[in-house]
């Protein structure tokens, strides 16, 4: 970052902070470093790649997106050590076959396919050693970097955010909890045959091992080459699911990583994976989103601003100091959401306008604040789902979906 700043100053420029940080070279270096780490550090990079989404220049998003598909496997000896600690030295006797090479690897664990003695095909998620113990120090190290870099204003209290990050990562590292969340989610979706939730194998599941039925399917983003009608149908199911999570089920899987969704060609069902980030939705957050969306459906721009302020999405200082910019952003959003017509998620023409206004506001650190932590988890799922819609270039009447869910679940 400093090298980029010095280079620009030498050219007679006065670079801004984001110009120094958000360069392709810096993003590539960051991605390469994080790809060799595990746990909270790599999770952070994956979250940046999802959450920043459209707000980063395309070339930077593409570089960071590699973190969603990139992780180093455990060496075979290390894997055997973990399995022996959890299942005992004779663990191989439980299976006809246990594939040593993972079929997937992520920030906290890797997944293996196995065939049991009674002929069931399982997916076995094995946690990397030491992950749970490193979470607090990883998060604290990131916080230290942010403070030292001057990227955050001194007045901004990030303590609640750091605590929430640690709490959620500890929850994700508890595979017994994840198994319970997966079972609860499956029960809530019993009336939704378009979705498949893996079945938990309680006998084999431990705190660091999650055993479940293996559910085959293709990567959800690979549907981008399929016919438009199929893409629209699949993505409408996902939008409806997010709406139901927020306004009906009271439980949300808050990690929108594309790898958590698979598509089964043989029956057209969507496989849902990874429930470590599943959490209850606070009723106050649900009601705040309902009021905000209701204002958007009505196209009431003043009410949108008021509800965004009441929910803590926008700081009073930001409205006082940047009222015109915020109103232009609200105008864009209200125009889109209030239309009773299909919304083209592949048309990103409005994104640069939102990004430009947002970056201009962000340069004023006196306007910064952290929204209520519970809303951040929900917003991550909402924005990540929209990013998938952009990838699929889906066209869906979002207004109709929201109205249907509202009608089925009146306030």
Rounded CA-CA distance 197/189 in Å is 8
Per-residue model confidence (pLDDT) at position 14: 61
The reply to whether 255 belongs to the active site is yes
Q: pTM value?
A: 0.85
Checking DSSP bridges between strand 251-253 and strand 278-280, what pairing results, if any?
Answer: antiparallel
Residue 50 has pLDDT above 80, yes or no: no
Checking DSSP bridges between strand 104-105 and strand 121-127, what pairing results, if any?
Answer: unpaired
More confident residue, 105 or 410: 410
Catalytic-labelled residue, pool 138, 201, 255, 274: 255
Q: Count CB-CB contacts under 10 A for residue 100.
A: 10
* Separation in Å, CA 305 to CA 210, 314, 318, 332: 44, 8, 11, 13
**DSSP category for residue 248:** I
Rounded CA-CA distance 251/245 in Å is 6
Query: How is residue 271 written in tokens?
Result: 């496989």
- pLDDT one-digit tens code per residue, 292-343: 999 999 999 999 999 999 999 888 999 999 999 999 999 988 888 889 999 9
Q: Which of 51-55, 57-61, 72-76, 199-203 has the highest mean pLDDT?
A: 199-203
More confident residue, 219 or 21: 219
Averaged confidence pLDDT in the chain = 86
Query: How is residue 268 written in tokens?
Result: 């057209």
Confidence of residue 288 (pLDDT cuts 50, 70, 90): very high
Give the least confident one: 17-26, 112-121, 195-204.
17-26
Return the residue matching tokens 């049991």: 116
The dihedral over CA atoms of 347, 349, 350, 353, expressed in degrees to the nearest 10, equals 160
Domain ranges of the chain: 2-68, 72-105+108-214, 218-411
Rounded CA-CA distance 273/218 in Å is 13
The dihedral over CA atoms of 398, 403, 408, 409, expressed in degrees to the nearest 10, equals 100
Residue 151 has pLDDT above 70, yes or no: no
Per-residue model confidence (pLDDT) at position 135: 87
Are the C-beta atoms of residues 262 and 219 closer than 8 Å to each other?
yes
Mean per-residue pLDDT, 276-305: 94
Are the C-beta atoms of residues 201 and 213 closer than 8 Å to each other?
yes
Per-residue model confidence (pLDDT) at position 73: 79
Per-residue model confidence (pLDDT) at position 178: 97
Phi, psi of 97 (to 5 degrees): -150, 135
């Amino acid at each position: 970052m400093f090298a980029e700043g010095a280079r620009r100053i030498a050219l007679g420029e006065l670079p801004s902070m984001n110009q120094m940080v958000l360069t392709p070279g810096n993003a590539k270096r960051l991605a390469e470093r994080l790809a060799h780490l595990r746990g909270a550090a790599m999770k952070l990079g994956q979250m940046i790649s999802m959450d920043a989404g459209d707000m980063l220049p395309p070339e930077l998003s593409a570089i960071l997106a590699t973190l969603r598909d990139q992780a180093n496997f455990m060496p075979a000896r290390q894997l055997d050590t973990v399995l022996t600690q959890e299942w005992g030295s004779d663990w191989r006797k439980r299976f006809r076959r246990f594939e040593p090479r993972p079929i997937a690897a992520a920030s906290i664990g890797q997944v293996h396919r196995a065939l049991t003695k009674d002929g069931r095909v399982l997916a076995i998620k094995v946690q990397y050693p030491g992950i749970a113990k490193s979470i607090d120090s990883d998060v604290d190290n990131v916080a230290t970097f942010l403070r030292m870099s001057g990227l955050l204003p001194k007045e901004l209290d990030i303590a609640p955010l750091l605590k929430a990050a640690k709490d959620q990562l500890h929850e994700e590292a508890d595979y017994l909890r994840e198994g319970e969340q997966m079972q609860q989610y499956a029960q809530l979706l019993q009336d939704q045959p378009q979705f498949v939730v893996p079945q938990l194998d309680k006998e084999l599941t431990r705190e660091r091992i999650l055993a479940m039925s293996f559910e085959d399917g293709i990567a959800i983003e690979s549907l981008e080459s399929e016919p438009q009608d199929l893409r629209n149908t699949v993505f409408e199911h996902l939008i409806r699911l997010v709406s139901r999570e927020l306004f009906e089920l009271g439980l949300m899987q808050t990690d929108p990583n594309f790898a958590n969704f698979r598509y089964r060609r043989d029956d057209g069902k969507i496989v849902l994976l990874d429930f470590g980030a599943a959490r209850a939705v606070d009723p106050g957050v649900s009601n705040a989103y309902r009021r905000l969306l209701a204002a958007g459906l009505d196209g009431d721009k003043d009410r949108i601003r008021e509800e965004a302020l009441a929910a803590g999405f926008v700081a009073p200082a930001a409205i006082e100091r940047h009222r015109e910019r915020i109103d232009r952003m609200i105008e864009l959003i209200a125009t889109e959401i209030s239309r009773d017509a299909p919304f083209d998620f592949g048309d990103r023409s409005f994104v640069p306008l939102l990004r430009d206004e947002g970056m201009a506001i962000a340069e004023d650190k006196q306007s910064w604040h952290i929204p209520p932590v519970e809303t951040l988890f929900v917003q991550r799922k909402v924005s990540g789902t929209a990013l998938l819609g952009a990838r699929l270039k889906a066209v869906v009447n979002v207004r109709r979906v929201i109205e249907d869910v509202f009608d089925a679940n009146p306030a």
